[in-house]
Amino acid sequence: MIEVDKYTKLYGDTVAVQSLSFVVRPGDVLGLVGPNGAGKTTTLRALAGILQPTSGSIRISGLDLRTDPVAAKSRLAFIPDEPALFDYLTVTEHLHFVARLYGVRDAGPQIPVLLEELELTAKADALPTELSRGMKQKLAIACGLLHQPSALLLDEPLTGLDPVGIRRMKETIAARAREGTAVILSSHLLHLVEELCTRLLVIRRGEAVALGTIAEIVEARPELAGRSLEEMFIALTGSDAGQTATA
Amino acid sequence: MSASLERSVIAQQITTPDSAVVRTPSPASAMLFLYARTFSNRLKSQLTRIRSPRYVAAVIMGVLYIWWALFRNSRFGGGPLAMLARTDELVPVFAAFLLLSAARWWIFGAERSTLAFAPAEVQFLFPAPVSRRALIHAKLLRTQIAILLNTVIWSVLLRGDGGSLEGWRRGFSLWIVFSVLALHRLGASIVRANAIEHENAGRRRSVVPLLVFAGLVGAVVYGLLSQYEALKVAAEAGMRAVGNAILVALNQPIPSYALWPVRALLEPVFARSGALWITAAPIAFVILLLHYLWVVRLDASFEEAALEATQHRAERLQRFRTSQMGKSRSRGGKLARVPKLALTGRPEVAIAWKNVAAAMRGGAWRTQLIAFTLGLASLAIVTRSASARAGDVFLGVTMGWGAMLLFLGPLWMRFDLRLDLQRLPILKTMPLSGLQVVTAEIAGVTILHTLTVWSLMIVPLVMIILDPSLLTDSGLTIPILFSVALAVPVFNALMFAIQNGTALLFPAWVRLGAEARGFETMGQNLLTTGATTLVATVALVFPVGIGALTIWLSDVLDSPLGVWSVLLGTVLGCLILALEIWPLLIWLGTVFEKTDLSDVTSGN
């Protein structure tokens, strides 16, 4: 479970995220959407323990990320949009590294299964420089899944994947959610969000403008009834205001 | 300047009479604009850090240190290293040293090619209508920033020399030397890359420069070997006699001719008068010009050989050019082996292991260590077989080299936080405390560097094997050897803690990444080493004091330990030093936990 309570992040006088509160329960897939610069990556990075909140609290599986960061981090996985890998470790060695780091039990038999699931078996001994963008993304995801996190944070997880890879990735995310992982998925691909997510969090300029299932959002904003998710997104974030004014 | 550049770039776009007509590309002004703006924006970004008290303190300390290191002796001719420039007798020795140093670039390749392009440069410039030659020129100009700074530092350090040579003349001469070295390093790495990348065709193109260089080095080695007997006799008379014998050997016709280009390059720096400088400087300048033409032509041929001018190709070249001395895979595709990481156990070991793997695959550490150890063992056998005195002299040289390694090694070996801070988001998501991360990062390089320094022990070991009586008649030698072996890891831990601490405290100002730089940053490295040594000296006062006191007391009280009291003193000193390092690591751990992404990203 991921619990965020009044999370605020300031950079000097600039507000990146303002008093954000939400809960993601086991099995939930929360779609984090918003226009560029809305604070999605900042939020995900804070949830991953990369950024310190200016105020507010974040709890992963009941563990406070600020007061008990090591225990909290051992239960989560963050997969950034740009996979950052170690240049001199092979694909398999990356997984060995993660297994040791997170104290994964029975990692030995799990690693080949994960490599197979993510179609990395043929590249098991390759270095990151020898992998395509999509393969790197798959490796980053494999590293994130190996320790079976109870909270999974995905930032644009489908970037660089081919159609088969996209389908497999969607299945992987859905399977992890079914197994009880709380998932937060940030993406601009609204059809993906619609397909995979059980709830939505729409943020704009660091503030939540909508939170809940699509039905709950429509209930709170009846004027959105009957609209597509794209139209809802535009209405909620005011993304077309600038274009209308320019036109 | 940048504003006028910006105007000129824009002017080229708007003065075209017909907007549909293709505008004339101006790569030179665009590149100049890019680098000028990058430099000024980076400087501005770094200066804004001074608002933080930590950075203010660093500025004050830095200014005081630079004043102390460079200007404390204002007397004319009183530069800290001015005596080096007072005699031109050492020119052949320096020339031989430079030539043999350059051999490393030809054998292993340069650490970092100055032609390495940043990902953004690949993305924007490679597909742009910019000739490869224009790119090379821009890159060469960029190298000049480091070279000019280095020239200023060395001009100050070598200032004076009794008024025989004006500062600007020496500065100009130094600039030529550093520029030639940078160009030579670049040329060597391209030739080597060419030979590997294009196999037979590349080897054919590279054969002439390789033969020329091998011939020059061979001539110097021949000169030294031909005077072997004289060197052997000189070794009996001490270091000064050995130095003179080496000078005689290098001044023989064959090595002298071989060293002539390097000597000609160095002559203006050591010129005793303006008149001598006038005759020497043009020759050095011609050597610079020839190097420049060589590099430009080399790279053109290198690029012409490439059939694909696509982004993918550019990225491949980029990876190739930025590779360090060793390649991760052999030509047969075999990956450099690293120790296997057990899947269970303490998690921080994984970080240390990762850094060891990076050093083995990215820095060819193991290959170099083996070559280094075998070379030392061979020289130990040769010198000891020649005479006991020659063996002692070589032992002295090895000890000097070891001492230098202890101080310079942590500057070269950067497989620690200096590499990993660039991946701070990954480190931050790891389920480890700051103390665990910092300790693991420092431990990996400490182990590697300790093994490197310990490899020097092969020299006394070989000598003991050759003459076992050394074991019984050694007196203090054996206890000292044990003491050194014990003290090296603790001292290394201190030095790496200082280096990593600096990177962690001032990530916006410290250069991050694994690559050590070349000759063009020798002056900057000298200042950095000086500063690190000062901090280490402060840390060592108490441990060394306790160690010395123990040895003294043992001597005064006529302890039964005898000469082994040296080892006892070292043990106590190391314990005290470890007790000093531990709180430092705890503190750096908390600094790591508080380090924000924005602290790192804006500076690098």
pLDDT digits (tens, 9 = 90+) for B316-360: 444 444 443 345 555 566 777 888 899 888 999 999 999 999 888
Contact A115, A142 (CB under 8 A): yes
Distance from CA of A184 to the nearest CA of B (A): 16
C-alpha to C-alpha distance for A127 and A138, rounded to whole angstroms: 13
What chain B residue is nearest to A129 in terms of C-alpha separation? B319
What chain B residue is nearest to A67 in terms of C-alpha separation? B433
Please work out, in degrees rounded to the nearest 5, the angle formed at the alpha carbon of residue B462 by the alpha carbons of B461 and B464. Answer: 65
Residue given tokens 């924005």 in the structure block: B598
Residue B207 at interface with chain A, using a CB cutoff of 8 Å: no
Q: Are residues A184 and A62 in the same domain?
A: yes
According to the model, what pLDDT value does residue B450 have?
95
Examine the pLDDT at B294 and tell me if it is beyond 90.
no
Examine the pLDDT at A118 and tell me if it is beyond 50.
yes
Q: What DSSP character marks residue B198?
A: S
Write the DSSP string, B488-528. HHHHHHHHHHHHHHHHHH-TTTSPPSSPPP-GGGHHHHHHH
The average pLDDT across B80-97 equals 69
Give B431-447 pLDDT, tens digit per residue: 999 999 999 999 999 99
According to the model, what pLDDT value does residue B117 have?
64
Q: For CA atoms B51, B55, B61, B65, give the dihedral sign.
A: negative
The average pLDDT across B516-523 equals 59
Q: A88, B347: Cβ pair inside 8 Å?
A: no
More confident residue, A30 or A11: A30
Share of chain B above pLDDT 90, in %: 18
Write the DSSP string, A114-146. HHHHTT-GGGTT--GGGS-HHHHHHHHHHHHHT
- Maximal CA-CA distance, chain B: 98
- Torsion on CA atoms B315, B321, B323, B325, rounded to nearest 10: 170
Quick one: tokens of B524?
A: 């900057």
Q: Is the pTM of this model over 0.90?
A: no
Q: Which ranges of A131-226 does DSSP label H, i.e. alpha helix?
A: 133-145, 163-178, 190-196, 214-220
Q: Are residues A119 and A66 in the same domain?
A: no
Residues 6+ positions from B27 with CB-CB distance below 8 Å:
B128, B129, B130, B131, B134, B135
Classify residue A53 as exposed, middle or buried by CB count within 10 Å of its CB (0-12, 13-18, 19+).
buried
Residue type, B317: L
C-alpha to C-alpha distance for A195 and B201, rounded to whole angstroms: 55
Q: Are residues A161 and A136 in the same domain?
A: no
Residues 6+ positions from B346 with CB-CB distance below 8 Å:
none
Interface mutation vs chain B, best among A100, A105, A125, most B CBs within 10 Å: A100
**A185, β-bridge pairs:** A31, A154
According to the model, what pLDDT value does residue B115 have?
54
Residues 6+ positions from A148 with CB-CB distance below 8 Å:
A104, A179, A181
More confident residue, A127 or B284: B284
Q: Are residues A116 and A161 in the same domain?
A: no
Residues 6+ positions from B260 with CB-CB distance below 8 Å:
none
User: What is the H or E stretch that residue B300 is in?
Assistant: helix B274-304
State which of A58-62, B81-85, B224-228, B255-259 shows the largest mean pLDDT.
A58-62
Residue B63 at interface with chain A, using a CB cutoff of 8 Å: no
Q: Are residues A57 and A153 in the same domain?
A: yes
C-alpha to C-alpha distance for B528 and B535, rounded to whole angstroms: 11
**A15, β-bridge pairs:** A10
C-alpha to C-alpha distance for A40 and A51, rounded to whole angstroms: 13
What chain A residue is nearest to B315 in terms of C-alpha separation? A129
More confident residue, A136 or B603: A136
Distance from CA of A19 to the nearest CA of B (A): 20
Examine the pLDDT at A153 and tell me if it is beyond 50.
yes
Examine the pLDDT at A214 and tell me if it is beyond 60.
yes
Pairing of β A14-24 and β A2-11? antiparallel
Contact B424, A50 (CB under 8 A): yes
Interface mutation vs chain A, best among B52, B335, B427, B428, most A CBs within 10 Å: B428
Q: Are residues A238 and A161 in the same domain?
A: yes
Q: In degrees rounded to 5, what are phi and psi of residue B271?
A: -55, 135
Range of the domain at A134: 83-148
Q: Are residues A62 and A153 in the same domain?
A: yes
Q: Are residues A106 and A27 in the same domain?
A: no
Examine the pLDDT at B73 and tell me if it is beyond 60.
no
Q: Which of A84, A90, A100 sits opposite B343 (nearest CB)?
A: A100
According to the model, what pLDDT value does residue A244 have?
36
Give B171-199 pLDDT, tens digit per residue: 899 999 999 988 888 788 777 766 665 56
Closest by Cα among B113, B133, B98 to B194: B113
Q: Are residues A39 and A161 in the same domain?
A: yes
- Using an 8 Å CB-CB cutoff, list chain A residues near B350: 97, 100-101
Examine the pLDDT at B112 and tell me if it is beyond 60.
no
Residues 6+ positions from B80 with CB-CB distance below 8 Å:
B69, B70, B73, B157
C-alpha to C-alpha distance for B458 and B442, rounded to whole angstroms: 25
Rg of chain A, C-alpha, whole Å: 18
Residues 6+ positions from B9 with CB-CB distance below 8 Å:
B26, B29, B30, B33
Interface mutation vs chain B, best among A43, A75, A79, A88, most B CBs within 10 Å: A88
More confident residue, B208 or B302: B208
Q: Are residues A161 and A226 in the same domain?
A: yes
Residue type, B229: E
Distance from CA of A197 to the nearest CA of B (A): 24
CA atoms within 13 A on the CB side of B430: 27
Write the DSSP string, A2-71. EEEEEEEEEETTEEEEEEEEEEE-TT-EEEEE-STTSSHHHHHHHHTTSS--SEEEEEETTEETTTSHHH
Pairing of β A76-79 and β A2-11? unpaired
Q: Are residues A59 and A118 in the same domain?
A: no
Closest by Cα among A112, A93, A91, A109 to A101: A93
Residue A124 at interface with chain B, using a CB cutoff of 8 Å: no
Q: For CA atoms A182, A188, A192, A194, give the dihedral sign.
A: positive
Q: Looking at A184-198, A226-240, B40-54, B582-596, which range is the least confident one?
A: B40-54
C-alpha to C-alpha distance for B419 and A148, rounded to whole angstroms: 28
Q: In degrees rounded to 5, what are phi and psi of residue A7?
A: -70, 125
C-alpha to C-alpha distance for B533 and B530, rounded to whole angstroms: 5
Contact B65, B533 (CB under 8 A): no
What chain B residue is nearest to A9 in terms of C-alpha separation? B596
More confident residue, A4 or A15: A4
More confident residue, B7 or B264: B264
Quick one: tokens of B362?
A: 């990215």
- Maximal CA-CA distance, chain A: 60
**A24, β-bridge pairs:** A2
Show which of residues 137-196 on chain B sit within 8 Å of chain A, judged by CB atoms: none
Q: Are residues A102 and A186 in the same domain?
A: no
Domains: count for chain A = 2
Q: Looking at A150-159, B303-312, B381-390, which range is the least confident one?
A: B303-312
* Burial call B24-38: b when 16+ CB within 10 Å, e when fewer: eebbeebbbbbbeee
According to the model, what pLDDT value does residue B25 have?
58
According to the model, what pLDDT value does residue A157 have?
86
